[in-house]
A and B are shown apart, each in its own frame.
Chain A
Amino acid sequence: MIRHHLSDALLTGYSAGILPEAFNLLVATHVSMCDECRARLQAQDAVGGALLEDSGAVAMAGGALAAVLERIGADAPERPAPRRASTGIFPTPLQEYVGGDSDAVAWRSVGGGVRQAILTQGPDSSARLLYIPPGTAVPDHGHHGTELTLVLQGAFRDETDHFARGDVEIADEALEHTPVAEPGAPCICLAVTDAPLRFNGLIPRLLQPFLKI
């Protein structure tokens, strides 16, 4: 049962197509796991539809319809191909970034048993997978921007709440937190930020340039 969902602002941004890549990846991954947010997103898309309907029209060139009909030719609309939902722990959009499921991740140790794998890193956002053994804490850190964390396996707890598979934690600059993986399976999360993380301890801070986070 998913308890922590995407925000309205994230769904609006995704529907409008103006989120940075890493955020798009997290939204697409969560929506793949959550019918509630799938329905909220499709409702949000209806805003785009209403704008399309009501924001004016610009006449097409004379032969436009004929040109499209010629392109279509004698082809009937496609039959939807049977599609398979992901059977692993990573939904399809995430598998496309990793090149497979959790066993295909190129993990790198970042100390204390914690591992990470950077999936995409750009000027506006970065996405990485985190692997946190049960009972282990991710170094206490704050954020310059927004950090979103989506749980894919296991669970973690921090000062705010408990987060299990499918849950999203939305942390803004004000939140300084120490996520600790719960007992049981190792916790695997997708974490995205729109600014570099800053760690509070001295050692993690010195390591930051090497960790590229």
Chain B
Amino acid sequence: MTSDDDSLRYANLMIAVARDADKAAFAALFTHFAPRVKAFLIKSGATPAVAEDCVQDVMATVWRKARMFDPARASVATWIFTIARNRRIDLLRRDRRPEPEDLPWGPEPEPDQLDSLVLQQETERLGEALARLPEDQRALIERAYFGDLSHSQIATATGLPLGTIKSRIRLALEKLRQHMS
């Protein structure tokens, strides 16, 4: 579990990578996230050796795509999760998964500080809610996210409060659209 400060710190490190190609910032992110991505891949069925290789691919992608990270719409953990998930689908030859059309613009060069702050805090709240879930409910979510559940077994919602995060992301999308028109 991270604190609000950690979430913000990682977001700022990502921005340093994106803006200044800051390798020290990248090394700090690597130290925190690479072992977590490795655990995620192993829990998803990869052998430790394969997972080790894949983490390197994932972290190289984190560097390459750093400018796509938008702190008003995702935490660093969320953004890295999506990269790791896509790598896992390739790796385990899961069903092909087309991606939605990209927004026709990248994140704003200077993301709104307050929007980023609130989104990062809300993501922390979600982490706390996840930690408080009853064990069986959390186990079901883990099985889904570690690819150990078929889609027909996900009959109900996760029981996690996603409304506030959704509203913040929606707001950020609207701002981006206004900004572009």
Contacts and interface: CB of A to CB of B under 8 A. Distances in A.
Given A17-B89, A38-B173, A59-B35, A51 B145 contact: yes
Interface of A: 8-9, 12-21, 23-25, 27-29, 31-32, 35-36, 38-61, 64-65, 67-69, 71-72, 75-80, 82-86, 91-93, 96-97, 122, 124-125, 145-146, 194
B173 A39 contact: yes
A204 B98 CA distance: 32
B95 A52 contact: no
Given A43-B169, A65-B31, A18 B150 contact: yes
B157 A47 contact: no
Q: Is the interface of A mostly helix, strand, loop or mixed?
A: helix
Nearest to A41: B100
B97 A17 contact: yes
B151 A20 contact: yes
Contacts, number: 244
Interface residues of B, number: 89
Given A42-B169, A49-B81, A68 B56 contact: yes
11 contacts: A9-B155, A18-B94, A40-B162, A42-B74, A52-B81, A54-B127, A55-B142, A56-B36, A60-B52, A65-B27, A85-B101
A75 B21 CA distance: 8
Contacts of B60: 68, 71-72
A24 B147 CA distance: 15
